[in-house]
């Protein structure tokens, strides 16, 4: 008699990310500033993925965090890029090297509209959507726009050297809420510097955000079964 075979499916889960940062001040002529892959905090990402599937609250992406500590200029005048703050083990203390600003990108939160107090298209400029494919992967697309007036105390023009300016960004990360509280907490509420769990980290050539520039980030995370 034929024996009943036991299922033995073993699937590898591949998570990969890509960021596209553009200067969209002139909507008709956007300028690509950054186009590269990111690093994933394996420990935190795996835990949050599992807990999200287990229907546990506060494990989704909530903030996009910007910082200026991902690179430095050495004695030869060269830009040196640091390694990302990622790990194989879950860690609630992992964060950007020097976070200086953050935006709520979870458009289901009331904070997504209250934070900017701008036009009705604000949520459209800062949101998270799931994109289904016809095969064994799906994408998470996170869009974040830094408008002309954001941050509030930025420099007026980008014409000067400002490698140490708070808003000369060279790193960013995706962050969840603290799952134990579920509250949008901030290290510095006046500058929208969020607290939470770091899920991804990417370091890139410095970009200065000033009053005369609109910067758009399109961050795509792909979850694929293999």
Predicted local confidence at residue 159, as pLDDT: 63
| Res. 160 pLDDT band, cuts 50 70 90 | low
Nearest-angstrom CA–CA distance, 189 and 183: 13
167 vs 117, which has greater pLDDT? 167
- Whether the Cβ atoms of residue 206 and residue 215 lie closer than 8 Å to each other: no
Whether the upstream peptide bond of residue 151 has omega within 30° of 0, thus cis, is yes
Q: What confidence tens digit (pLDDT) does each residue in 104-148 have?
A: 999 888 887 644 445 556 567 899 999 999 999 999 999 999 988
Residues 16-42, mean pLDDT to the nearest whole number: 95
Nearest-angstrom CA–CA distance, 223 and 52: 14
Q: What is the SS3 assignment for the chain?
A: CCCCCCCCCCCCEEEEEEEEEEECCCCCCCEEEEEEECEECHHHHHHHHHHHHCCCCCCCEEEEEEECCCEEECCCCCEEECCCCCCCCCCCCCCCCCEEEEEECCCCCCHHHHCCCCCCCHHHHCEEEEEECCCCEEEEEEEEEECCCCCCCCCCCCCCCCCCCCCEEEEEEEEECCCCCCCCCEEEHHHCEECCEECEEEEEEEEECCCCCCEEEEEEEEEEEC
Percent of the chain with pLDDT over 70: 88
- Kindly report the backbone phi and psi dihedral angles of residue 48, in degrees, each rounded to the nearest multiple of 5, phi listed first: -70, -35
Q: What confidence tens digit (pLDDT) does each residue in 48-63 have?
A: 999 999 999 999 999 9
| Res. 165 pLDDT band, cuts 50 70 90 | confident
Tell me whether residue 172 is exposed, middle or buried, using C-beta atoms within 10 angstroms of its C-beta: 0 to 12, 13 to 18, 19 or more.
Answer: buried
Nearest-angstrom CA–CA distance, 93 and 113: 28
Q: Which residues pair with 139 in a beta bridge?
A: 131, 222
CA 112 from centre of chain: 15
Residues 7-21, mean pLDDT to the nearest whole number: 85
How many CB atoms are located within 10 Å of the residue 158 CB? Answer: 18
Q: What confidence tens digit (pLDDT) does each residue in 201-214 have?
A: 999 999 999 999 99
Q: Domains of the chain: which residue ranges?
A: 33-216
Question: Which stretch of 147-151, 159-163, 222-226 has the lowest confidence by average pLDDT?
Answer: 159-163
Nearest-angstrom CA–CA distance, 28 and 21: 16
């Amino acid at each position: 008699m034929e024996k009943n075979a036991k299922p033995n499916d073993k699937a590898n889960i591949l998570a990969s990310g890509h960021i596209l940062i553009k200067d969209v001040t002139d909507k008709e002529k956007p300028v690509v500033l950054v186009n590269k892959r990111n690093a994933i905090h394996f420990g935190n990402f795996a835990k949050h993925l599992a807990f999200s599937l287990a229907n546990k609250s506060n494990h989704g992406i909530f903030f996009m965090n910007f910082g200026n500590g991902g690179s430095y200029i050495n004695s030869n005048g060269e830009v040196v890029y640091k390694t990302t703050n990622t790990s194989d083990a879950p860690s609630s203390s992992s964060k950007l090297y020097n976070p200086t600003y953050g935006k709520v990108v979870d458009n289901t939160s009331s904070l997504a509209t209250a934070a900017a107090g701008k036009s009705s298209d604000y949520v459209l400029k800062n949101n998270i959507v799931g994109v289904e494919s016809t095969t064994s992967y799906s994408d998470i697309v996170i869009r974040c726009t830094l408008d002309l007036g954001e941050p509030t105390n930025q420099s007026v023009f980008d014409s000067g050297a400002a490698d140490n300016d708070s808003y000369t960004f060279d790193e960013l990360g995706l962050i969840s809420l603290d799952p134990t509280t579920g509250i949008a907490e901030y290290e510095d509420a006046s500058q929208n510097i969020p607290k939470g769990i770091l899920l991804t980290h990417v370091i890139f050539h410095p970009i200065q955000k000033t009053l005369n520039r609109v910067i758009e980030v399109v961050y795509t995370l792909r979850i694929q079964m293999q």
